[in-house]
Structure 1
Amino acid sequence: MKKQTKKLAAVLAGLAVVVLAGQADGVRTYISEIREGPGTQNAFDMFKEATGEDALLEAIRKKAEETKVPPINARVDRVWKAIPGYNGLEIDVEATYRKALGGSLNTKLSYVYRETKPEIGLEDLGAHPIYRGNPEKPMVSFMINVAWGNEYIKPMLDTLDAEKVKATFFLDGSWLSKNAELAKEIQKRGHEMSNHAYSHPDMSRLSAERARQEIAKTEELLKQTLGVDNQWFAPPSGDFNQKTVEIASSMGLKTVLWTLDTVDWRKPSPDAVVHKISQKVEAGTLILMHPTASASGALKGMIDSIRAKGLTLGTVSETLSSNRVAKASVE
């Protein structure tokens, strides 16, 4: 009995030295020894009585304070207008502590992390256009506006599939009404489907009623044809005014434009498109393209150049959300 007590005392002393010295990674070795020895039920209670505090918990709290990444609020920028917020990241102290005491035993403490929401989100900013994601979020989106160019859609879908990339397709309503099966194919491949008005008008030239009809008609088609609950409106040709943004907002839609334009309708060479994107793309960039020969030919090269910068590709919804994303590894 005396030997067991001495062994436990030695282990507890070792634990105190390790934790109080701030070396949290070594704590679990001592916990393991406590558990495998006699008096397992009361060993940690004895330690707390001896030290006057739970040193493991304090070590986790200290690490949490040292490593905390605060969230970034959404804001309205003078140039870029509405910019989404970005979640913070911190150690979940309680979950980490419970895991340390009750989980599998290692020689290294395994921290549990959680995201923390900003106080101000995109939805709190009011009716403003959006041109980009948060510059701290290493994600990029392809915005593919579709009103014509059917012959290039499937080749582009095949490239996106091969590269495991999901894009957001903004559909012209009149195109959708005539190409429901092709739209369903795009959707079947896992891409996001959104609103590009009905007849490709200059939205700023329309009356309020006509502008509402243009958006509403396509929104109804998206719902009826594809079962889509949409949240984005991309004005044709990027033409809009504040009235357009407010009308879309009243219908539950945020107006989204682009950060970087491939200008593929001018028929540049695929190499020229890739060069432009590789030079200018950065975290939060929304890249505009259409189903054209230029975009189709450049798509693989664009994906490669984006990934070479450690950026991840996602849908517009993913890029404009406040959810965190890890920086992609660069091979």
Structure 2
Amino acid sequence: MRRIVLMAGLIGTLVACGGSGGDVKPMRAAGAVSPAPLPVTLKEPDPDVRRGLSPEYTRTNCAVLKCVALTFDDGPAKETEVLLRILAQRGVRATFFVVGRMVEENPEILRRELQEGHEIGNHSWSHASLASLSPDGVRAELGRTQAAIKAHTGYISTLMRPPYGATNERVAAVARELGLAEIMWAVDPLDWQDRDAAKVRRRVLEQTGAGDIVLLHDIHLSSIEAVPEILAGLAERGYRFVTVSQLLAGTPVRPGHSYVERSAT
């Protein structure tokens, strides 16, 4: 009887998601707390339970699961609202590296990102190339954005991403001073260059491996259009979608140090 109930729920989910098996959200009982980041293959009994791992432990423990962190740069923008709907429908959490001046333009979208369980990182105030600035210039770009995020949400970010990936010892020193780890990426589908959803989807699916941080931009609708199939394709391969902090949990994350992925060790 339990198997029949599970199958009925799965069929209902497929219909709601347009028929793509990769978009299936995990089943959970009424009154349960927040769902797992992405689908769990239904088996009897669950393999994680057989290994003695509780659902809470396996949900985000990227030391034992195949995890990937999707990250989105340059917002919050009006296009971000489309992306948030897609992520919410699939129970996926991501990390948004926000530009300070965009925060001031769209504070309500920033608040929504946090309310829906996403993580916020600092992407400078004006998308300047930080490596070309003096320490005071870097401090102004990052510090002003930190202040804007806190003013509108009360949230204090512990992550930053230098625009263009441009960093050096001066940038790292200021990041360390502000308590910010530098988050780079392992997968770059060049979505800013090729505004083609099919190319973006193909590159992400071909290049992504366990523990990777994926770079995308929520200011481009072509990138957002690629997200449903990216989620479906990676989910079919057993990946869980987590925030950067969830991905790196249990590993040393130090302000001023740079990270592109979760190390296998």
- TM-score above 0.5: yes
- State the AA in 1 paired with 2:194: K
Does residue 1:276 correspond to 2:198, yes or no? no
| Match status 1:141 vs 2:64 | no
> Which of 293, 303, 318 does residue 231 from structure 2 map onto?
303
Larger radius of gyration: 1
Cα distance in structure 2, aligned partners of 1:209 and 1:191: 30
Q: How does 1:145-164 map to 2 (within 5 A)?
A: 145-147=73-75, 150-164=77-91
Show the counterpart of 1:250. Answer: 177
Q: Which residue of 2 is the match for residue 290 of structure 1?
A: 217
Tell me, yes or no, if the aligned pair for 1:277 and 1:305 is still in contact at 8 Å: no
Task: Give SS of 2:184's match.
Answer: coil
Question: What is the CA–CA distance in structure 2 between the aligned matches of 1:209 and 1:160, rounded to whole Å?
Answer: 37
Q: Is the 8 A contact 1:136 1:284 kept in 2?
A: no
| Contact 1:172–1:198 (Cα < 8 Å) also in 2 | yes
Deviations along 1:165-190, one digit per CA (max 9) or x if unpaired, are 00111110111112111211222222
Q: Retained in 2: the 8 A contact 1:194–1:222?
A: no
What residue number does 1:181 align with?
108
What residue identity is the alignment partner of 2:228?
K
Unaligned runs of 5+ residues in structure 2 are 1-49, 55-61, 252-265
CA distance in 2, matches of 1:256, 1:278: 21
For 2:164 and 2:65, how far apart are their aligned partners in 1?
A: 27
Alignment of 1:1-331 (within 5 A): 138-147=66-75, 150-291=77-218, 292-322=220-250
Give the deviation of 1:229 after TM superposition: 2.3
Counterpart Cα distance in 2 of 1:137 and 1:202: 35
Q: Percent identity?
A: 25
**How many residues matched?**
195
Deviation of 1:309 (Å):
1.8
Q: Runs of at least 4 residues of structure 1 off by over 4 A?
A: 110-114, 134-137
Q: Deviations over 1:128-177 (max 9, x none)?
A: xxxxxx887521011111247x3421111111011110011111011111
CA distance in 2, matches of 1:159, 1:147: 16
Q: 1:306 & 1:182 partners in 2: Cα distance? A: 27
Which amino acid is the alignment partner of residue 260 of structure 1? V
Contact 1:139-1:313 at 8 Å conserved across structures? yes
Q: CA deviation at 1:307?
A: 1.2
Deviation at 1:269, TM superposition (A): 2.1
**Which residue in 2 is equivalent to 1:84?**
none
Secondary structure (helix, strand or coil) at the match of 2:192 reads helix
Letter in 2 for 1:314: V
How many angstroms apart in 2 are the aligned matches of 1:310 and 1:112?
20
Post-superposition CA distance 1:249-297 (Å, at most 9, x none): 1211101111111221123421211111111111111111112122111
TM-score (structure 2 length as normaliser): 0.68
- How big is the shift at 1:113? 6.1
Q: CA RMSD in A?
A: 2.3
Distance in 2 (alpha carbons) for counterparts of 1:180 and 1:277: 29
Secondary structure, counterpart of 1:142 in structure 2: strand
Provide the secondary structure at the position in 1 that maps to 2:137: helix
Larger relative contact order (CA 8 Å, sep ≥ 6): 2
Instruction: In structure 1, list runs of 5 or more residues that go unmatched.
Output: 1-109, 115-133, 324-331
